[in-house]
Structure 1
Amino acid sequence: METQIRWRKALVISLLFHSIVLIGVGWMTARLFTATEPPEQYLELELAAEAENPGPTADGNPAPEPAAVQDRPVIAAETKPTPAPVRRAPAVVEETAAAAGRSEESSEPGGNASAAGSEESSAAGSGNGSTGKSGQGGVIPPSILSRVEPAYPEPDRQAGREGTVVLKIQILANGRPGSITVHNSSGFALLDEAAVAAVRQWQFIPARERETGQAITCYTTMPVVFRLKV
């Protein structure tokens, strides 16, 4: 009887030992043969020129001929409740030379909702450490394929609120926007949300490796300007 008990104890100990060994070997094997995913490359680029002129602006007027600038801000067109003497034609688009990561735009009154990103083929954006058509470190910059103009929030329009939102946009390899964050706030939550909601519906031509033509994920910054017509 005592011998049987000893054999059972020895058998249980042996099973536990072999189980621990097998679990340890399996864990080590999984670590050795599991492919380590490379960290995501952070690549920030400016938008390249758009192939076509933009469609009608938010107030229904055709967009003017583009100037040779690198970026055009989104300018939401609305009319103030109390009109003032007209200083400029309502269809004039406010243009700036806003580069990636900057929020400086013209403060003159405009009248349209349009998007940052150049529309002149010779004004291709520059990347970190390179400029113009020479490429952005061997990368062809992204461009806008289609856009949805932002809607001016009614409460802010009634209150006469204006502002500029600078968005940081992740452009995925499939041309869709990924993460969209507010890089610089306008100071009004509804304006910020309207800018994000509009850009989320956009379609981009993704950035590509110049040598292989492979689409890659990148980031860009874009100003969205909300201005009331006067």
Structure 2
Amino acid sequence: MKKQLAFAAALISAAALAQTPRATGDNVATAAAPALASYARPEAPLNPEYPPAALRQEQQGQVMVRLRVLASGAVTDVQVRSSSGYALLDEAALAYLRGARFIPARDRSGLPVDSLVIVPIRFVLED
């Protein structure tokens, strides 16, 4: 059995956070958020390693990860929004995204801004 790791092609959502109160949970004050000219996106393709133990146990699933991309492109506040059902897969996605670098979102004046992003990571095994 060969492994295949699929990263969903698009980031699900993003919300500008510049000049807004810190978001709690998934509630973002969008009325006060500046309009974005561009959304945060990964600097390079996201390719986390399939955890060897999960591979041996034939675990598969999708992890929805919520993270904050700072204006610097650094990632912070990484948390599982929706579990794959397997701790090994969830932890692999979190660990990988904590070290990922993003191109930050930009407001309409072209300035980089903090944003929230939801990233789906799919771990899929195929024959």
The answer to whether the superposition gives a TM-score over 0.5 is: yes
Identical-residue share of aligned pairs (%): 33
**CA apart distance, 1:164:** 0.7
Cα contact 1:127–1:137 (8 A) shared by 2: no
Does structure 1 residue 139 correspond to structure 2 residue 36? yes
Deviations 1:146-200 (A, max 9, x none): 2451111122111111111000010001001111100001111110011111112
What's the TM-score once normalised by structure 2's chain length? 0.73
Consecutive unaligned residues of structure 1, counting only runs of 5 or more, are: 1-77, 81-110, 119-124, 129-135
- Name the residue aligned to 1:224: 121
Does structure 1 residue 117 correspond to structure 2 residue 15? no
What's the TM-score once normalised by structure 1's chain length? 0.42
CA 1:116 to 1:201, structure 2 compared with 1: closer, same or farther past 3 Å?
farther
Rg larger in structure: 1
Higher fraction of helix:
1
Give 1:79's aligned amino acid.
K
CA distance in 2, matches of 1:156, 1:184: 18
**CA apart distance, 1:114:** 3.3
CA 1:178 to 1:127, structure 2 compared with 1: closer, same or farther past 3 Å?
closer
| RMSD across aligned positions (CA) | 2.5
**Secondary structure in 2 matching 1:149:** coil
Query: Residues 93-172 of structure 1 correspond to what in structure 2 (within 5 A)?
Result: 111-114=4-7, 116-117=9-10, 138-140=35-37, 141-172=39-70
- Name the residue aligned to 1:60: none
CA distance in 2, matches of 1:220, 1:79: 30
Cα contact 1:163–1:186 (8 A) shared by 2: yes
RCO higher in structure (CA 8 A, sep ≥6): 2
Consecutive unaligned residues of structure 2, counting only runs of 5 or more, are: 16-32
Cα contact 2:13–2:118 (8 A) shared by 1: no
Cα contact 2:50–2:92 (8 A) shared by 1: yes
CA distance in 2, matches of 1:188, 1:223: 15
Higher fraction of strand:
2
**CA apart distance, 1:79:** 1.9
